Structure formats: C-alpha cells, structure tokens
Amino acid sequence: MNPLLEDWAGPFGTPPLDRIQPAHFTSAYEAALAQHQAEIAHIADDPAPPGFANTAVALERSGKRLARVDAVFSTFAGSATNEALQAIELEMAPKLSAHWNGIYLNAALFQRLDAVWRRRAELGLNAESLRLLERIHLDFVRAGARLSGEDRARIDAISQRLATLSATFAQNVLVDEEDYVEPLSEEQVAGVPTSLREALAATARARNVDAPYAVTLSRSSIEPFLQSASDRALREKLFKAWVRRGANPGGHDNTAVMAETLKLRAEKAALLGYETYAAYKLADSMAGTPARARALLDKVWAPALKRAEKEREDLQTLVAEEGGNFALAPWDWRYYAEKLRQRRYAFDEDMLKPYLALDNVIAAAFDTATRLFGITFHPRADVRAYHPDVRVWDVRRGEKPVGLFYGDYFARPGKQGGAWMSSLRDQQSLDGDVLPLVLNNCNFVKADPALLSFDDARTVFHEFGHALHGLLSQVRYPRLSGTNVARDFVELPSQLYEHWLEEPEVLSRFARHWQTGEALPQSLMEKLEAARHFNQGFQTVEFLASAFLDMDFHSQKLENYDPAALEAATLVSIAMPDAIVPRHSAPHFGHIFSGEGYSAGYYAYLWSEVLDADGFGAFTEENNIFSPVIAKKLHDDIYSSGGTRDFTEAYRSFRGRDPEIEALLKGRGLETN
C-alpha cells in the first residue's frame, strides 16, 4: 500500500508522515496527476451550459489528491530531503509545471470560465463567490490563457524550465550550507558566550567533527558567532563562506541558473503584455506597480543610510580605541556593534538568552493567541510526523477543533535554511468543515534547552503569525483560504504578531530563567527597551539592499544577464556602504530564485511593515494590547478572511483608515524630523 494514496485516517485526518518513503511519491504523483486530468477533462467537456457551479466550483473541487501529494512532498523536500527526494524534485518540477500549464492553457476550459466571468454581474453571487470567480479567472489570464499559437507553446516551455531552475537553485544552496562545517578549537571560540559554546559543542557532536566545537552556515549558528568571536581572521573566513553560498566553483554554482531565470522571466512577462517581469508581478499586488514599491524603498533608504553611516563612524571609533589599525569590514560589524551595545546599554545578548528558552517563547506565542482570539493549544503525541524533532498540538476554541499545528524548530542535515510556514491542508468549508494542518519551520541550533536570542524569539512569533493566518481562516473556497493573499499583504499577520513579544506584559509572564524560573529582571527589560533601536540603520540597510537587488533584477529586459554585474551596479547606484552587504546576496537569494513567490516582491516585507506598525497602533491607542474589540476586528478583517476581500479594503475596515508610514519610521528609530 502507498500511504500517500490512502485516506488520511490519523487524528484530524492527518497523513501518516512517518510511513512515507521517497519511492511512494513517484506512483502517488502519477495517480494524482491522472485523476486531476480526468477531472479537468470532465469540466471542459461538460455539455451543459457553463455556470458558476459546474465551472468555478468544479475547478475548486478538482485536484484534491494532487494537492495532498504535493503538500506532503513540499514538506519533505523542505524539511527532510535526501538525494532520492532531490532527484524526484528535479524530475517532477517540469512535469507539474506542464500539468498546470495544460490546465491554464486549455482553450475549451478557459472558454467556459470566461463565459461565466463575463456574466458575473447577472449570476446573483455573494461577495465571496464573486471574489472566487474573479481570482480564478485572473489566475488563468496571468498564466497565458488568452495567448494563442506559438506564444502558448512558448509560455508553457518557459514555465517548465523555470520550475526546474527553481528546484536546482534551492538544491545548490542547500549543498553549500550542508557541506560547510568549520571545526573549532578552544582558542578559536575566545569571546564566545557559554550558551553559544554549548550549542557549538552540540553541533560538533551531531556532525561527528573531531574538534570540541563546530560552526555551520546556518544563520542561527553563524550570526551569533560573528557577533562574539574575537578571532578576526576566523570571522573573515566564515563570513566570506557564508555570503558565498550558491556561488562556489563546481557543480553547485547558481550563476548560470540565475541568468537563465531572469531572461526567461522577462520573456514570460513580455508574452503576457508587460514591459518587465516586475510590472507583471506587481500588477496583482497592493502596490500595483514597481514605481509605487520603489517609492517606498526610496523613502526609507535615505534615513536608513544616514543612520547606518553614523553607526559605522561609532564602530570605527571603537576599533581605533581598541588599537585596531583597519577599516571596519562586513565581518567586523556584528562583533563591534555588540561591544558598543554592551558599553552603551550594559546590555549583553547572553544575559537575555537564559530567559528565552524555546519552550517559554512557544508558550508566550500560544498564550498571546489565546488572549487575542480565544484559542488554546494541546500537545498531541499520537500524531506522527516526518522527524522526531517535530511537535504537534491540536488547536481548539472551547471544545470546537480549529486545526493542527506542527512545530519543527531545529536545524539539521536535509533541511532548508531559514524559517517558514506551510500547510499540509488548507481550511475550507466547500465540502464540510475541512480543518487546516499548519506547519512552522525554524533552524535553531539544537540544545537542551535551546536558548534563543531576541531575534530568534521574534522569528518564532513571526512564523506563528503566519500559522495563525492559516489556522484562523474561515472561508468557503480553498483558493481563498488562509495565506492565499497578495504577497505584500501576506506578511501583515506575521509581522504584526511580532509586536506582542516586545511588550512587557508578555515578557514579564514568559521570559523566565530556564534554571531558576526567575522572571526577567525589570532592569534587563529596561535595557532591552533602551537598546531597541540600536543598529537599526544596519538592519534596515541590509534588508533594503536585497529589496533593491530584487527590483532591479526584475525591472530590466536584457539579451544576456550577468547577475554579479547587475548586483554590483545596483549597490553602486544606491551608494551601499562598504561595511555592509545585502542580507541576501543573489546566489543564495532563495526568496526570489527558489520559486516565484517573492520574485519582484521582496519589498513586500517593508510594505507589510507599514501596515503592521500602523496596525498595532490600534491596540496601543486603546492602552490595551489585548483589547477584545480590536482583537475581534483583527480576527475578522485580517486573520480569518483569507483572500475573500480586496486587501486595501480589508486593512481599511480593520483600522478605520489607510495606513501611515510614520509608525514604521518610528518603530525603526528612523524618524526624518
């Protein structure tokens, strides 16, 4: 028996993830694709006149088996991959693309859908059904349904090739991240705090390294090391290895992958009638145009650059005071910034970590959701996952089940870097109440206990905000469920949720010493608040640089693309400081090259930050961060409505007005006054 083709009979209708092997996916995909093709043929060839039920709703009901197989495979490919799964991923990427292109470019099917869409005002549809029809029709149009002849064949070929390039890009970065393990001696960890030393020792044991310590290129491993290690030559070596991911010579260099991707995306946009790929992507976003997105980046860049230059001067002064005869370099910034922070605020990140054990932070995230939305979380040891590290909770509102939440928090071989939310099944009520199965992935260094930095704790809240967006969804149609929203809206629920972590009311309850249970001292909480805007110039500049790269990459039509030259030109054009590098350099910029989700859309984090900073003001203006009235509006207008409404209208309904950028600038300490 193939467990992927069985009915999901676990608690809450969960899949038997612990029984699934790579060999199961090939036959499961074959069966699921064949079934979906038959369903599509039935819709396209239906002799009855096209209507909303037998066309739009029928499309929503089709492909359920394929959606299940694809969701499980994506989970394994991202969180528990191996050579067999990677081979299947490369094999299936163009096949899946061809399958979906075959649907979107099916002339008979689109003719029926288009006929229904043209009559939409006459059909008496409710708002959600009308929204569904409009979104499905737009999906077809943006995929090329109105093209004809050679153009249809060409866009199909482009989509298939892009799917292969996307999978190749991600696999290349993963190889560079997994293959690099730096053994460290006692001397080489000079300056490293105790908690990080213990984590590095655990890494050495897990990787079977013949040394007392080891560091990897996982962000949660290398960033704190760069922040604390006093060996400058070692910092330089590790930093260069970190930023070179995806650009190392040999079979895993992403240079050609990026160049071909950019060329094909530009060609795709031209076929669809857009001047550039950025114009194509942003046409279906809140920003609407590259010019509007770029205007936001420019508005924040000027004060951020000014702030970063002042920060650089302060760090260079500290270098000189300590006898350093060198210009501040990128591998120095984190190290000297931490020294300066300790000097100015008597605040040491290592003093905070004992109060931020992972379990405490998870409990804080759960409790915040309970107080805002009335949901509770209950461990489920009977739900099997794909790895022993994964923990599962069922989510309830009173006695009513809401869904399941899977938490996969630790870095390991076979797991992509970074942090993300995904789902094994989206909420919908088209055919009964289908409960969501939502996952969070992080890449913290595994230790007992796992002690987090404040940024790591913020990541837990951020990804859990995404998870809530999926869990709290209350819509009828799968296409509109949960996080199926515009890219520059999808980060609002996650970034907004981060705000509660910073509130004393939350920290005082859950930031407790992992050994003594002592609450975070008031003096340390005050230092944390005082240092809140420290190094914000650096953090904003490194993010914005990546956003500018993304926008520039996708705003040009060139015969040949040289990603390295394009990156260099962008950094010159924005006057990028020499001592800072982009948060994501092109060769490992998975947001934009591993899939099309954030391509020409990395700006969305900043766009959503305007919304979240302004949106949290609704609570602070009430002097109650758990205001029941505001929380209900937040639930109804933002977290539960999925893609059922225009996103600008949804925010306006929640806030009572359009967002204002001043809250973002104030939150980052970048006021222009």
| Sequence-separated (6 or more) residues with CB below 8 Å from residue 488 | 285, 286, 287, 293, 601, 603, 604, 607, 608
CA distance 347 to 587: 35
Sorted by sequence, the CB contacts under 8 Å of residue 497 that are 6+ apart come out as: 365, 368, 461, 462, 464, 465, 468
The answer to whether 107 and 152 have CB atoms below 8 angstroms apart is no
Output the CA–CA distances (angstroms, integers) from residue 136 to 113, 371, 480, in the order listed: 9, 36, 10
CB 426 within 8 A of CB 71: no
Residue bearing tokens 């990897």: 216
φ/ψ (deg, to 5) at 425:
-160, 135
Dist. CA 451–CA 342, nearest whole Å:
19
CA 593 centroid distance within chain:
13
Which of 322, 384, 593, 597 shows the shortest CA–CA distance to 484? 597
Cα separation, 365 vs 382, whole angstroms: 23
- Note the helical H segments in 289-357: 290-321, 330-345, 349-352
d(CA 163, CA 424) in angstroms, rounded, equals 21
* CB-count exposure of residue 195 (10 Å: 0-12, 13-18, 19+): buried
Tokens representing 339 are 């020294």
What's the one-letter identity of residue 167? A
H or E segment to which residue 156 belongs: helix 149-179
The amino acid sitting at 447 is A
Please give the DSSP secondary-structure letter assigned to residue 117: H
Name which of 264, 455, 274, 276 is nearest 349 in CA terms: 455
Tokens of 269: 């946009």
In Å, the largest CA–CA distance within the chain is: 84
**Sequence letter at residue 410:** F
Give yes or no for a cis peptide into 449 (omega within 30° of 0): yes
Residue 171 in tokens: 């696999």
Helix residue spans in 46-126 (DSSP H): 58-61, 64-79, 83-104, 107-118
Determine the residue type at 342. Q
Burial group, residue 636, by CB count within 10 angstroms (0-12, 13-18, 19+): middle
Active site (catalytic) residues: 463
- Look at the block and give the residue holding tokens 């930031």: 511
Which residue from 378, 401, 403, 400 is spatially nearest to 391, judged by alpha carbons?
378
> Exposure string (b/e) for 49-74, b if CB count within 10 Å is 16 or more?
ebbbebbbbbbbebbbbbbbbbbbbe
- Helix, strand, coil % over all residues of the chain, rounded to 5: 60, 10, 30
Tokens of residue 109, six digits: 């099917």
Question: What angle (nearest 5°) sits at the alpha carbon of residue 317, between those of residues 313 and 321?
Answer: 170
